Structure 1
Amino acid sequence: MRTSAKHQQGVALLVALLVVALAVILVAALLDRGELALARTRNALRSEQAEAYAQGLEIYAVQVLVDTQREGGTDTNASPWATPLPPQPVPGGVIAATMHDMNGCFNLNNLSGSNGTIWEQRFKVLLTTLAVNPSLADAVSHWLDGNGTSDDSYYLAQPVPYRASRRNFSQVSELRLVKGVDGETYARLAPHVCALPAGTSINVNTATVPVLQSLGISQSNAEKIWNNGQANYPDLPKFATAAQLPPESPLTGLGVKSTYFLARGDIVLDDVPFTFFSLIERVQGRTSMVISRSRGSDDALIAPAAISADPARDTTLR
């Protein structure tokens, strides 16, 4: 009887320990699930808060562009829109903003527009300047307009088959889909190219050194014109003289004013970063308007403030 009583007491103790262990596990699971739900709720609220701040920064950017347009003159890297908004404390975190002139880059969609031959020649020079095979220009042209079918078999043979878009680029990152564009090639091209509506001009005051070289300007002369990002030519004739362009050299698609700008908002809430981009079109005589938005940091969208013309010395592309 004593043995049986002791055995029963031992079983009861084990059952009690098992119940306690199960209770601890259940409580821990509930706490973990509660913390996860709390984190999800917090992140959702912070995301909505960040979007609200981004919309405010967007409105601010549009107003700056409207005010700058009223003042007239040219667009340079010293224009009011080029002045960054320094970090500003807000409830829950910090916000900051910058604006970049998209007319300072090479618009890939110009290859499919009018004067496509001139743009194709310039693109090949740009590729050569950046130590990229100039034959890539043909692959990009085929991707845009569908002339020629030599690349179709390549796209269909990929692990995930696809076809050439046969339309303009909506994002410059689509360039990664084109035959011959690997990670290194994209890294070299991205700071100097963009995807805008066809027919845009290059602002010679904000163009990077390689983009200036694509116009048929020597590297030394392009660096002199760029002037560490401080180029400020009031009109194209003065630019042509400074660039030492021959009289017969076409000035097609060049200008000293800009139409498209990329506003970037950097928002940090509870140590969580949020990055928003807004492509803004400034129309002469009308208010500026947002034509596209994107979210997520991609530094390749923004051309660095200082870019060397020599890929061997250009550390920003590595």
Structure 2
Amino acid sequence: MRKIDKEKGASLLSVLVIVMLMSVAAIAATDALARSVLIIKSSSARAEIFWTARGAADAAATYLTKALEMNEGALNSESELFAQTITLPAGNGVVVVQAREASNCFNLNALFNSAGDGEVSDASLQAYDDLLVAAEFDDAEAESLAQKLADWIDADYSTRTYGAEDGYYASQAESYRAANTKLRSVSELKAIAGYDPEVFARIEHLVCLRPEQEQSVLNINTLSLEQAPLLVALYSQELSLDDARALIDSRPAGGWLSKEGFIQQDAVMKIAPDARNDMVLALASDYLSADINIGTGDLITNYQALYRRSETGNVALVSMVRREF
């Protein structure tokens, strides 16, 4: 009888162990299933938000095209286009689009020469050096920053006098290599020697990346005071930073009616004609950007879209990226 009792006890214990293991497995399976469902829902929500943003960006392109048709693309800092937002319904939420000027910047892709051989244009590099000096870096620091950027993007592995190539980056605590190609974003500057957070903050509003390898024209009616260095570097080195700021600050309400109105200002007239680059001036904007905010419940997702206006007047989406804050 004792033997039978022991066998029953052992069987009962085995059953309890099996039940316990099955319970653990069931809980694990349920938890895994719940996580999978959550991941699927999250992925679906992200995809829905992205396509909502893309639809809003395309709708904004149509709106911008129509808005600019009325004045052939001419914009000034007081333009209604910049003052008002566009609100669109989107499923269970809303999309708010805010248009902004995006023409007034130094195109870092213009640093490459037109031959397409991955080499840096000396003239464009000098213009970038001039921009840094106009942004109140001293001559030595400006030259060093310009050459380090040139080494980062050019195709060769030769280090310029004040530049930095793979040898420098390999010696860092977390080693890496120079890109030796075009920048992928303006924030990539922070990976380049010398471009610490303070330096980056001083030039972020002056530089940009555009698809082509040409400098964008400057819309003299939307230039801000902090963008005055662009006039010095791209329009005329004989224009002082103080004069550039004064020109922007004294701009008439609604902006200049023509390029000639700007050129006839005293600060400009004292500059020799051959020392001016009048071709860089415009009253219209080639590029616009838009902040796209998607609100669904308590969640707000932010994107930034870049648009280009063609010679025909059509505004087309160039790129769209999600912004993290």
Please point out which of 207, 214, 222 is paired with 2:245: 222
Structure-1 separation of matches of 2:137 and 2:226: 6
Structure-1 separation of matches of 2:240 and 2:254: 15
**Is 1:201 equivalent to 2:217 in the alignment?**
yes
Q: Secondary structure at the match of 1:94?
A: strand
| Partners of 1:175 and 1:186 within 8 A in 2 | yes
Q: Secondary structure at the match of 1:247?
A: coil
Deviation at 1:66, TM superposition (A): 1.5
Deviation at 1:289, TM superposition (A): 2.2
| Partners of 2:103 and 2:285 within 8 A in 1 | yes
Cα distance change, pair 227–131 in 1 and its aligned pair in 2 (3 A): farther
Task: Tell me the equivalent position of 1:137.
Answer: 146
Cα distance change, pair 155–4 in 1 and its aligned pair in 2 (3 A): same
Letter in 1 for 2:267: Q
Cα distance change, pair 126–9 in 1 and its aligned pair in 2 (3 A): farther
Structure-2 separation of matches of 1:32 and 1:105: 52
Structure-2 separation of matches of 1:130 and 1:54: 43
| Partners of 2:286 and 2:310 within 8 A in 1 | yes
Structure 2: tracts of 5 or more residues without a match: 114-120, 233-238
Structure-2 separation of matches of 1:219 and 1:15: 89
Deviation at 1:212, TM superposition (A): 0.7
| Partners of 1:66 and 1:288 within 8 A in 2 | yes
**Is 1:64 equivalent to 2:76 in the alignment?**
no
RMSD: 3.7
Map 1:140-155; keep pairs closer than 5 Å: 140-145=149-154, 149-150=159-160, 151-152=164-165, 153-155=167-169
Give percent identity, aligned residues only: 20
Map 1:166-245; keep pairs closer than 5 Å: 166=181, 168-196=182-210, 197=212, 198-214=214-230, 215=232, 216-218=239-241, 222=245, 225-226=248-249, 232-240=255-263, 244-245=267-268
**Is 1:297 equivalent to 2:323 in the alignment?**
yes
Cα distance change, pair 144–204 in 1 and its aligned pair in 2 (3 A): farther
| Partners of 1:155 and 1:164 within 8 A in 2 | no
After superposing the two structures, state which structure 1 stretch, 119-128 or 52-61, moved more: 119-128
Cα distance change, pair 52–226 in 1 and its aligned pair in 2 (3 A): farther
Structure-1 separation of matches of 2:223 and 2:324: 20
Q: Secondary structure at the match of 1:128?
A: coil
Task: Tell me the equivalent position of 1:77.
Answer: 77
Structure-1 separation of matches of 2:140 and 2:257: 33
Structure-1 separation of matches of 2:267 and 2:62: 37
Letter in 1 for 2:159: T
**Is 1:258 equivalent to 2:285 in the alignment?**
yes
Letter in 2 for 1:225: I
Cα distance change, pair 80–145 in 1 and its aligned pair in 2 (3 A): farther
Structure-1 separation of matches of 2:127 and 2:46: 41
TM-score, normalised to structure 2's length?
A: 0.73
Cα distance change, pair 24–192 in 1 and its aligned pair in 2 (3 A): farther
Structure-2 separation of matches of 1:175 and 1:81: 31
Letter in 2 for 1:99: A
Residues 171-215 of structure 1 show CA distances to partners (whole Å, capped at 9, x for unaligned) of: 222323332112332233223321123221222333332321442
Please point out which of 124, 133, 138 is paired with 2:132: 124
Structure 1: tracts of 5 or more residues without a match: 300-318
| Partners of 1:129 and 1:210 within 8 A in 2 | no
| Partners of 1:264 and 1:275 within 8 A in 2 | yes
Task: Tell me the equivalent position of 2:235.
Answer: none
Deviation at 1:85, TM superposition (A): 3.3
Letter in 2 for 1:169: L
Cα distance change, pair 296–260 in 1 and its aligned pair in 2 (3 A): same
Task: Work out the number of aligned pairs and report it.
Answer: 295
Deviation at 1:45, TM superposition (A): 2.0
Task: Tell me the equivalent position of 2:118.
Answer: none
